[in-house]
Structure 1
């Protein structure tokens, strides 16, 4: 869940502390590029993030580093799913899925899968049961997670492509068949979390942050006064 950020203090230096709200061990100049390497911690009225080697800074004085890629240009909270070459459950490609809040911060990362085993190249053919096509989608109802039985694993958030495609009926859900090793392992074309734990993380993010967009892409695409 590492994420690059830039020190943004309006010209002053930023204190680096040994622990959240702890002893000052260093300072960073405004504009310094850092890498956040762990989860945030609340202390002393600020949100502290680790930047490596027992070094913590207040996140309020960082800005998310946004290179010119498609995903970074999308406004608001969003889900960004990147298809990788890693495979689980006998052949389902893993989508590294970042859950990003409205400020551009990665709240969490989960795995997702899409399509059936042996059908792992997206297709425009309806009923192909291949992965969800690459592109940008909008959540039909931001923040909504509907109850859905059977193959949908109890949760469903519908999304609609912003581009033309012959396929439809897309959404995010949980795939209880992911590790079943049957001809129904995987999804018919939706994006799905493969475990209950990841389902719950995704569900909590959708309900809490109400993401507006889902971006599906292939790996490699460019898509205080004391300055705590």
Structure 2
């Protein structure tokens, strides 16, 4: 499937400070909107921008940090990964579409598929356990790179477990296929995991995971 998002693939990075938190700004050198702790794993996207004597990189929509406080994560780069950007486009009564790049170890996009997360009427990402909301933005690791297990029912026959690299109450997360994504019924969307909405996209994702054995899964707001 084709993609409308920026095809420049960034890199997974570790926050490196002297122990202080790293300021996240709404624009390069702009208003502070968040803080990242030393050692936090994040993902850069888009082109770097120079401002106020520093080089700034984007971590997603209205999320900018100074690049000199980031170092490429040695165990994450040079390996296959799944990069998902949440868009403003919706399907099935409100599910936000995640344009998802399947990227090999050379940072080349192999395929692009769509995905959804959370129930249609609960589309604000949440750290709360059992919320049935989309999974939080951030970097995850695949529990078993290359593994696609059988999972019946709402999981659509496939399951690849992922674990957050950050603190959250959410657990039991994974990538699967959502048979309800196009039905617009009480089960439309996922209970909080990440899922492809069609069988074709399920097969594309499953084949990529089995073949390229991605180690990391990244979700961010576009």
Band of TM-score, shorter chain: 0.5 to 0.7
Partner residue, 2:143 = 140
Q: What is the Cα deviation at residue 109 of structure 1?
A: 0.2
Q: Which is greater in Rg?
A: 1
SS of residue in 2 equivalent to 1:197: helix
Mapping of 1:74-93 within 5 angstroms?
A: 74-75=76-77, 76-93=79-96
Say whether 1:205 aligns with 2:208.
yes
1:156 equivalent in alignment to 2:159: yes
Check whether the contact 1:112–1:192 (CA below 8 A) recurs between aligned residues: yes
Cα shift at 1:213: 0.1
Q: Provide the secondary structure at the position in 2 that maps to 1:203.
A: helix
Q: What is the count of residue pairs matched by the alignment?
A: 160
Shift of 1:70: 5.7
Correspondence for 1:17: none
CA contact (8 A) 1:139 1:211 kept: yes
Query: For residues 66 and 105 of structure 1, do their structure 2 counterparts lie closer, same or farther at Cα, with a shift above 3 Å needed?
Result: farther
- Correspondence for 1:173: 176
* Structure 2 Cα separation of the partners of residues 138 and 125 of structure 1: 20
Mapped contact 2:127–2:135 kept (Cα < 8 A): no
Which TM-score applies when normalising by structure 2? 0.68
**More strand per residue:** 2
By how many angstroms is 1:92 displaced?
0.3
Unaligned runs of 5+ in 2: 10-45, 49-56, 61-71
Q: Give me the CA root mean square deviation.
A: 2.2
Give the TM-score, by structure 1 length: 0.66
